[in-house]
């Protein structure tokens, strides 16, 4: 059993090491005064939805303020009631998608309520220096910290908790990851440099979970994250997940929870996986434009059937729906999609186009002559 004291001690040691480093502000190179810029406070929303934002920046760079609260809580991850004692940003798995423009400043206040049991931090793959901000954001229960960094590179990037050593994978596979999208100031462009826009944006976060079982083979539940640590690490070391899910739970984006669109609408799908490689595929559709590596400074690939998201990264795919119906969006490791849960749905309304597809003859008995 991993106790709260042991958890805090381990992360406190890491924080102490950071404290012994030279003070960043005292030796920092002087730069533009971010404090002179205008400010915008943004309220984050739970995935798959994303807060309101402009696709093309209005005016010059600004400071975009976000607040995220860390929440340790039990989360049911499948239809059988299997419960993960999760660690989350803002209570959701994945954490919210943050959207800014290149050269904006991201200013995040990270809150770790006293009701939590563990220390946490945040590592932005989009940020430069201090382990992506991880060295500057350690917060014990009952503390908060504010970090500001400049969004210098465009694209989609993962963020995750990284408190040091074995705590890193454990926190990540317990739910502590999300993504940030940094748009070009003049918006997205295709391979010809022409502007492209989206009508809707959805954020799909893929997670692999490693749930311990009891002697009878049933999944175990625990009172706190620390109580689960030893058993979970044993499963993690086998590198075989028990669940691979979109947005925290088997079926979280299917049925009544399907993502909605209409024929003719263009949808941007941001897909993040903080730990394992994945292969998104839209059954019955395509990636019209795909930033497989998530970097908008690079020209997008066109007309992909399946795209590849490296573990520890986020990608983006743009598609205009041309037919109505239910589209399954899956990890095309089909075992993980069907058996472990990595399936979502798009429910698309509109009129059917027979020119694109039609059933020439309905099923009937096989002709004998």
Residue that is last in its domain, among 138, 153, 186: 186
> DSSP readout, 224-266?
SHHHHHHHHHHHHHTT--SEEEETTSTTTTSGGG-EEEETT-E
CB contact set of 40 (below 8 Å; sequence gap of 6+): 62, 63, 64, 65
* Per-residue confidence (pLDDT) for residue 20, from 0 to 100: 41
CB atoms within 10 A of CB 197: 11
Residue 125 annotated as catalytic: yes
CA dihedral (136, 138, 144, 146) in degrees, to 10, reads 20
* Set 101, 120, 243, 345: catalytic member: 120
* Set 271, 281, 286, 345: catalytic member: 281
* Per-residue confidence (pLDDT) for residue 369, from 0 to 100: 75
- CB of 47 within 8 A of CB of 179? no
Closest C-alpha among 210, 167, 237, 222 to residue 8: 167
The answer on pLDDT for 127 being more than 70 is yes
Supply the DSSP symbol for 135. Answer: G
* Set 85, 101, 125, 286: catalytic member: 125
Residue 233 and residue 121 in one domain: no
- Is 181 marked as binding a ligand? no
Residue 140 and residue 18 in one domain: yes
* Per-residue confidence (pLDDT) for residue 73, from 0 to 100: 96
Judge whether 244 lies within some domain: yes
User: Residue 252 belongs to what domain range?
Assistant: 202-349
* Per-residue confidence (pLDDT) for residue 2, from 0 to 100: 44
Residue 69 and residue 161 in one domain: yes
Instruction: Write phi, then psi, for 226 (nearest 5 degrees).
Output: -60, -35
Q: What CATH number did the domain enclosing 48 receive?
A: 2.60.40.420
The answer on pLDDT for 14 being more than 90 is no
The answer on pLDDT for 250 being more than 60 is yes
Judge whether 193 lies within some domain: no
CB contact set of 285 (below 8 Å; sequence gap of 6+): 319, 321, 322, 327, 346
Residue 179 forms beta bridges with which residues?
Answer: 97, 158
The answer on pLDDT for 7 being more than 80 is no
Burial 6-25 (b: 16+ CB within 10 A, else e): ebbebbeebbeebeeeeeee
Instruction: Write phi, then psi, for 26 (nearest 5 degrees).
Output: -65, -30
* Set 101, 171, 243, 271: catalytic member: 171
The answer on pLDDT for 336 being more than 50 is yes
* Set 72, 103, 123, 292: catalytic member: 123
Cα 240 from Cα 219, distance rounded (Å) = 15
Mean pLDDT, range 155-184, rounded to an integer: 98
Residue 297 and residue 150 in one domain: no
* Per-residue confidence (pLDDT) for residue 223, from 0 to 100: 86
Judge whether 219 lies within some domain: yes
Residue 209 and residue 137 in one domain: no
Q: How many domains does the chain have?
A: 2
- CB of 68 within 8 A of CB of 90? yes
- Is 286 marked as binding a ligand? no
Cα 70 from Cα 146, distance rounded (Å) = 14
The answer on pLDDT for 192 being more than 60 is yes
Q: Which one has a higher pLDDT value, 304 or 2?
A: 304
Cα 185 from Cα 103, distance rounded (Å) = 8
Judge whether 31 lies within some domain: no
Judge whether 133 lies within some domain: yes
* Per-residue confidence (pLDDT) for residue 27, from 0 to 100: 56
Task: Detail the DSSP E strand segments found in 283-349.
Answer: 287-291, 301-304, 313-320, 325-331, 343-349
- Is 85 marked as binding a ligand? no
* Per-residue confidence (pLDDT) for residue 4, from 0 to 100: 43
Residue 120 annotated as catalytic: yes
**To the nearest whole percent, how much of the chain has pLDDT over 90?**
88
* Per-residue confidence (pLDDT) for residue 22, from 0 to 100: 43
Per-residue pLDDT band for 224 (boundaries 50, 70, 90) equals confident
Cα 319 from Cα 266, distance rounded (Å) = 5
- Is 171 marked as binding a ligand? yes
SS3 assignment, position 123: strand
Residue 286 and residue 327 in one domain: yes
Supply the DSSP symbol for 305. Answer: S
* Per-residue confidence (pLDDT) for residue 29, from 0 to 100: 59
Residue 74 and residue 164 in one domain: yes
Residue 85 annotated as catalytic: no
* Set 266, 306, 320, 347: catalytic member: 306
Judge whether 360 lies within some domain: no
The answer on pLDDT for 330 being more than 50 is yes
Residue 225 and residue 137 in one domain: no
Residue 123 annotated as catalytic: yes
Judge whether 336 lies within some domain: yes
The answer on pLDDT for 19 being more than 60 is no
Tens digit of pLDDT for each residue in 38-81?
999 999 999 999 999 999 999 999 999 999 999 999 999 999 99
pTM above 0.85, yes or no: yes
Tens digit of pLDDT for each residue in 77-111?
999 999 999 999 999 999 999 999 999 999 999 99
Mean pLDDT, range 23-42, rounded to an integer: 70
CB contact set of 27 (below 8 Å; sequence gap of 6+): none
* Per-residue confidence (pLDDT) for residue 161, from 0 to 100: 99
Cα 284 from Cα 348, distance rounded (Å) = 12
Residue 176 annotated as catalytic: yes
Secondary structure of 171-234 as H, E, C letters: HHHCCCEEEEEEECCCCCECCCCCECCCCEEEEEEEEEECCCECCCCCECCCCCHHHHHHHHHH
The answer on pLDDT for 315 being more than 50 is yes
Pairing verdict, β 259-262 and 343-349: parallel
Residue 345 annotated as catalytic: no
The answer on pLDDT for 18 being more than 60 is no
Cα 233 from Cα 212, distance rounded (Å) = 9
* Set 68, 87, 98, 161: catalytic member: 161
* Per-residue confidence (pLDDT) for residue 24, from 0 to 100: 52
CA distances from 94 to 37, 43, 247, 271 (A): 30, 16, 6, 11
* Per-residue confidence (pLDDT) for residue 31, from 0 to 100: 54
Residue 93 and residue 181 in one domain: yes
Tens digit of pLDDT for each residue in 267-295?
999 999 999 999 999 999 999 999 999 99
Residue 150 and residue 277 in one domain: no
Residue 157 and residue 254 in one domain: no
Residue 305 annotated as catalytic: yes
Residue that is last in its domain, among 186, 218, 250: 186
Judge whether 48 lies within some domain: yes
Supply the DSSP symbol for 30. Answer: P
Residue 179 and residue 318 in one domain: no
Residue 215 annotated as catalytic: no
* Set 186, 214, 305, 339: catalytic member: 305
* Per-residue confidence (pLDDT) for residue 120, from 0 to 100: 99
Mean pLDDT, range 6-21, rounded to an integer: 46
Instruction: Write phi, then psi, for 218 (nearest 5 degrees).
Output: -85, 145
Residue 286 annotated as catalytic: no
């Amino acid at each position: 059993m991993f106790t709260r004291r042991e958890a805090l001690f381990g992360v406190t040691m890491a924080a102490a090491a950071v404290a012994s480093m030279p003070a960043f502000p005292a030796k920092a190179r002087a730069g533009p005064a971010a404090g002179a810029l205008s400010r915008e406070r943004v309220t984050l929303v739970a995935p798959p939805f994303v807060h309101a934002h402009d696709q093309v920046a209005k005016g010059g760079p600004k400071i975009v303020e976000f607040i995220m609260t860390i929440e340790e809580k039990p989360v049911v991850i499948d239809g059988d009631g299997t419960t993960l004692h999760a660690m989350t940003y803002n209570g959701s798995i994945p954490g919210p998608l943050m959207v800014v423009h290149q050269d904006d400043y991201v200013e995040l206040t990270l809150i770790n309520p006293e009701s939590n049991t563990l220390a946490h931090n945040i590592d932005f793959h989009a940020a430069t220096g201090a382990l992506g901000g991880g060295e500057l954001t350690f917060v014990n229960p009952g503390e908060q910290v504010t970090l500001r960094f400049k969004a210098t590179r465009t694209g989609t990037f993962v963020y995750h908790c990284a408190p040091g050593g074995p705590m890193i994978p454990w926190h990540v596979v317990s739910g502590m990851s999300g993504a940030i999208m940094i748009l070009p100031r003049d918006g997205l462009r295709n391979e010809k440099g022409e502007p492209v826009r989206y009508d809707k944006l959805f954020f799909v976060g893929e997670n692999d979970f490693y749930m311990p079982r009891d002697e009878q083979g049933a999944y175990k539940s625990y009172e706190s994250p620390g109580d689960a640590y030893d058993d979970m690490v044993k499963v993690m070391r086998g590198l075989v997940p028990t669940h691979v899910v979109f947005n925290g739970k088997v079926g979280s984006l299917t049925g009544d929870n399907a993502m909605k669109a209409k024929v003719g609408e263009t949808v941007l799908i941001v897909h993040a996986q903080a730990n394992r490689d994945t292969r998104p595929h839209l059954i019955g559709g395509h990636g019209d434009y795909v930033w497989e590596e998530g970097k908008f400074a690079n020209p997008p690939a066109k007309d992909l059937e399946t795209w590849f998201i490296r573990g520890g990264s986020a990608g983006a795919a743009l598609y205009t729906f041309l037919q109505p119906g239910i589209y399954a969006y899956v990890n095309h490791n089909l075992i993980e999609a069907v058996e472990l849960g990595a399936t979502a749905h798009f429910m698309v309304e509109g009129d059917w186009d027979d020119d694109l597809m039609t059933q020439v003859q309905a099923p009937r008995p096989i002709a004998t002559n």
